[in-house]
């Protein structure tokens, strides 16, 4: 059983706050430090700065054990310091580690031993570099551990408290033991390894998940060409216990703050070391092309898109989050606008603002689809499950649904009078339209 320690967190972003609140939940004292005053003020006032299920409750439940500060000096009392800052890509595709180095510059000077733990996703070799930097600064009392996060947005609190495994890569056995103890109340397999392997486990796990997505997306594209249904195919494939059912949902490509940047970073890391990571390069390219296939589907039904009104339903990169980073909706909106289409956009929580300049943000699904020539499901929000309704059909100029997430039942959508296109599913939507209806033209008027 782990005893209570004092934990310092660099970065009150998504990883930092989930990590901090969950460690507080496990009984530790936690000090979260960020450089953005508004963020710290919001947290002190009891507000979570972004949408993440269970996070507000976890922060509130443990507020006695959570402190927020702008001062790195306050982290001096921590036994263990977690680095949870962002590592965005640079122009070269390498991970930008400048926030990590700034955190290192801000490390408080203490007498006793402190352990620096890297939660942020970093290239293999970062641990060695940080260790050298610590030595150069005379911080020989600071140990280093790589302890990557495997949290998925929208279920991050659950993932933290119920992990598949805890990966701990350390230079010193003692530091590994101390970090493992922090998780003492959690039952999970612990992978103790060297620092470089821990760093690689994170990158490889994400790369493999992306490979599965691009794989099933390519299978989907072939399914469309040969008349099979990728949802059925994925079900049949996923029941093989050697393969498993996860990450086999075909769609409009992966997005988010992690996969796109981590794939580039790993590809770049390999090529910096003289290796061309061919498979990963293909995974990335397939994903880019996948986002654009929706445009072809729209053109198939509507012809030229100039002047057509298209509703983009769901804007966040996936359901359960308001995160717009690398969201496929951004690529779609700008492609549509470039083609001269009018874009009406809706999401229950995401507010893209300037990112989706030129599109009209709507408060309700009905407002977005009113007078639209097509409705595109971009994010698999539950709210969209009953999209194929009479109300929506009557509001649209043409009853056409392009389902980028295979959220709807194709037969039901067609029965409800819509022309329907999923991803990797039979794409002959016209024959089930009621008699007299033309290709994707309005079937009934109110
Ligand atoms: C991902 C990983 O799942 C986490 O384990 C990891 O810790 C995290 O990245 C990270 O590196 O920090 P996340 O990006 O939050 O988490 O979301 P996922 O649920 O993995 O989805 C990623 C993308 O893949 C989304 O755009 C999603 O729509 C897409 N996806 C996922 C599919 O298109 N098909 C699937 O079957 C699954």
pTM tops 0.75, yes or no:
yes
Task: Give tens-digit pLDDT for 325-368.
Answer: 999 999 999 999 999 999 999 999 999 999 999 999 999 999 99
Q: What is the pLDDT of residue 437?
A: 43
pLDDT above 70 coverage of the chain, percent: 95
Which residues have C-beta within 8 Å of that of residue 207, sequence separation ≥ 6? Answer: 262, 263, 266, 280, 283
Query: How high does pLDDT run on average in the chain?
Result: 93
Give 259 Cα–ligand 1 centroid separation in angstroms. Answer: 7
Over range 143-171, report the average pLDDT: 97
Over range 273-295, report the average pLDDT: 96
- Indicate the top mutation candidate among 14, 213, 380 to test ligand 1's pocket, ranked by most ligand atoms within 8 A of CB: 213
Over range 169-176, report the average pLDDT: 97
| Minimal-distance CA residue to ligand 1 atom 18 | 152
Task: Give tens-digit pLDDT for 93-113.
Answer: 888 999 999 999 999 999 999
| Minimal-distance CA residue to ligand 1 atom 6 | 150
pLDDT-based confidence at residue 2 (cuts at 50, 70, 90): low
Q: What is the pLDDT of residue 94?
A: 84
Give 106 Cα–ligand 1 centroid separation in angstroms. Answer: 32
pLDDT above 90 coverage of the chain, percent: 91
- Atom nearest to 202 CA in ligand 1: 11
Give 326 Cα–ligand 1 centroid separation in angstroms. Answer: 12
Q: Is 151 in the pocket of ligand 1 (CB under 6 A)?
A: yes
> How far are the Cα atoms of 7, 131, 143, 437 from residue 140, in angstroms, in the given order?
19, 9, 8, 77
Query: CB–CB of 158/54 below 8 Å?
Result: yes
362 is catalytic: no
Q: What is the pLDDT of residue 90?
A: 87
Q: Which of 22, 223, 258, 362 is catalytic?
A: 258
3-state secondary structure at position 225: helix
Q: What is the pLDDT of residue 89?
A: 85
Sign of the dihedral defined by the CA atoms of residues 297, 300, 306, 308, in that order: negative
Give 401 Cα–ligand 1 centroid separation in angstroms. Answer: 25
Distance, in Å, from the CA atom of 118 to the CA atom of 86, rounded to the nearest integer, reads 11
Distance, in Å, from the CA atom of 360 to the CA atom of 353, rounded to the nearest integer, reads 10
| Minimal-distance CA residue to ligand 1 atom 9 | 258
pLDDT above 70: residue 435: no
Q: What is the pLDDT of residue 431?
A: 40
Sign of the dihedral defined by the CA atoms of residues 390, 395, 401, 405, in that order: negative
Q: Is 150 in the pocket of ligand 1 (CB under 6 A)?
A: yes
Task: Give tens-digit pLDDT for 17-32.
Answer: 999 999 999 999 999 9
Burial (Cβ within 10 Å: 0-12, 13-18, ≥19) of residue 42: middle
Q: What is the pLDDT of residue 442?
A: 45
């Amino acid at each position: 059983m782990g005893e209570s320690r004092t934990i310092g967190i660099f970065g009150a972003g998504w990883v930092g706050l989930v990590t901090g609140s969950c460690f507080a939940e496990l009984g530790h004292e936690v000090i979260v430090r960020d450089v953005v005053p508004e963020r710290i003020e919001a947290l002190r006032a009891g507000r979570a700065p972004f949408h993440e299920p269970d996070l507000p409750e976890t922060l509130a439940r443990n507020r006695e054990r959570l402190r927020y500060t702008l001062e790195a000096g306050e982290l001096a009392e921590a036994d263990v310091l977690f680095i949870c800052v962002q590592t965005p890509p640079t122009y070269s595709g390498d991970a930008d580690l400048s926030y990590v180095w700034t955190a290192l510059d801000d490390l408080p000077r203490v007498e006793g031993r402190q352990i620096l733990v890297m939660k942020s996703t970093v290239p293999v070799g970062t641990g060695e570099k940080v260790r050298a930097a610590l030595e150069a600064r005379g911080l020989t009392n600071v140990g280093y551990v790589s302890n990557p996060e495997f949290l998925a947005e929208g279920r991050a609190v659950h993932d933290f408290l119920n992990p598949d495994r805890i990966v701990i890569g350390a230079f010193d056995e003692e530091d590994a033991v101390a970090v493992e103890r922090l998780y003492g109340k959690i039952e999970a397999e612990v992978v103790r390894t060297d620092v470089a392997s821990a760093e690689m486990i994170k990158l490889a796990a994400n790369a493999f998940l992306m490979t599965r997505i691009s794989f099933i997306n390519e299978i989907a594209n072939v399914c469309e060409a040969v008349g099979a249904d990728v949802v059925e195919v994925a079900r049949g494939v996923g029941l093989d216990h050697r393969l498993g059912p996860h990450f086999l949902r075909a769609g409009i490509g992966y997005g988010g703050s992690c996969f796109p940047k981590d794939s580039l970073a790993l590809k770049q890391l390999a090529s910096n070391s003289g290796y061309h990571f061919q498979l990963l390069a293909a995974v990335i390219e397939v994903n880019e092309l996948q986002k654009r296939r929706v445009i072809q589907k729209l053109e198939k039904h509507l012809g030229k898109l100039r002047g057509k009104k298209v509703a983009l339903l769901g804007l966040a990169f996936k359901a359960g989050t308001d995160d717009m980073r690398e969201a496929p909706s951004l690529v779609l909106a700008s492609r549509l606008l470039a083609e001269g289409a009018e874009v009406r956009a809706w999401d229950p929580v995401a507010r893209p603002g300037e990112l989706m300049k030129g599109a009209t943000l709507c408060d309700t699904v009905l407002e977005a689809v009113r007078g639209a020539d097509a409705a595109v499901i971009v994010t698999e929000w539950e709210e969209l499950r009953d999209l194929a309704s009479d109300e929506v059909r009557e509001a649209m100029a043409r009853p056409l649904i392009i389902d980028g997430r295979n959220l709807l039942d194709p037969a039901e959508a067609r029965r409800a009078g819509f022309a329907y296109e999923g991803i990797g599913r039979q794409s002959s939507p016209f024959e089930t339209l009621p008699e007299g209806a033309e290709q994707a033209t309005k079937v009934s008027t109110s």
